[in-house]
Amino acid sequence: MAVRLAATEDVPAVVRVINRAYVVEGHLFRGDRTDEAEVRERLERPNACFLVIDAADDRPGAGALAGAVFVEIRGERSYFGTLAIDPDRQGRGSPAS
C-alpha cells in the first residue's frame, strides 16, 4: 500500500471516493458531500494536501482510488479531515487489500 499526494488529475477520483464514502451521512448534506471546485480549492491552499491510496487490485474500480484524506497545517496546529475509504474496500483492513 502506497500513500501519495493527490495531483490535479486526481480531483475527479477524490470527489468520487469522498461522495461514495459519505453517502451514509446524506441526511446531513444537500446533494453530494463535495464537488470538484471544493477539492481543487483545498488542493490550492498553502500547507494543505489530499493524501490518497490507489486501489491496487483487479476488482471492479481497480485503478481508482481506495481512499483519501485532507491534511492541512494551520500555524502550530494541523487539521486532518474528510477521511474517505471507498465503501467497496471498507472493513477489509488495508484499504488497498
| Domains of the chain with bracketed CATH | 3-89 (3.40.630.30)
Q: What is the mean pLDDT of residues 69-93?
A: 90
- Residues 42-51: pLDDT tens digits? 999 999 999 9
Q: 37, exposed or middle or buried, with CB in 10 Å at 0-12, 13-18, 19+?
A: exposed
Whole-angstrom Cα distance, residue 17 to residue 66?
Answer: 7
Whole-angstrom Cα distance, residue 15 to residue 36?
Answer: 6
- Residues 3-47: pLDDT tens digits? 999 999 999 999 999 999 998 776 776 778 899 999 999 999 999
Instruction: Quote the pTM value.
Output: 0.82
Residue 62: the pLDDT is 46
Residue 6: the pLDDT is 97
Q: Order the strands of the 3-5 sheet from edge to edge.
A: 3-5, 48-54, 65-74, 77-85
